[in-house]
Amino acid sequence: MDWMGIIAIVLGPGGIIIALIERTRRENNRDHARNTEILMKIDNKIERIDERLDDHIDWHLNNER
């Protein structure tokens, strides 16, 4: 067996593992970006609800008998 065959046998599985790790890393980054977008939308909705509740409470406080 020549040296190139030995190198291929030794490094081949490592290359496959590295490729899988890189793929997983990219998927993880993509998923984190999606989750960040969703959380920002939720945050904006909560902020709007908070403002509406504040306005509603103020209305009640100003219109007491």
- For residue 54, the tally of other CB atoms under 10 A from its CB is 10
Per-residue pLDDT for 1 more than 80? no
Q: Is residue 55 part of a domain?
A: yes
Given a cut of 80, is residue 65 above it in pLDDT? no
Q: Give the count of domains, the chain.
A: 1
Q: Could you read off the pLDDT of 37-53 as tens digits, one per residue? A: 999 999 999 999 999 99
Evaluate whether residue 22 is within a structural domain: no
Containing domain of residue 64, as a range? 37-65
Residue 15, CB-side half-sphere exposure with 13 Å CA sphere: 6
Does a structural domain hold residue 6? no
Q: 31 in a domain, yes or no?
A: no
Instruction: Supply the DSSP string of 22-55, one letter for each residue.
Output: HHHHHHHHHHHHHHHHHHHHHHHHHHHHHHHHHH
In a domain, 21, yes or no: no
- Domain annotation covers residue 7: no
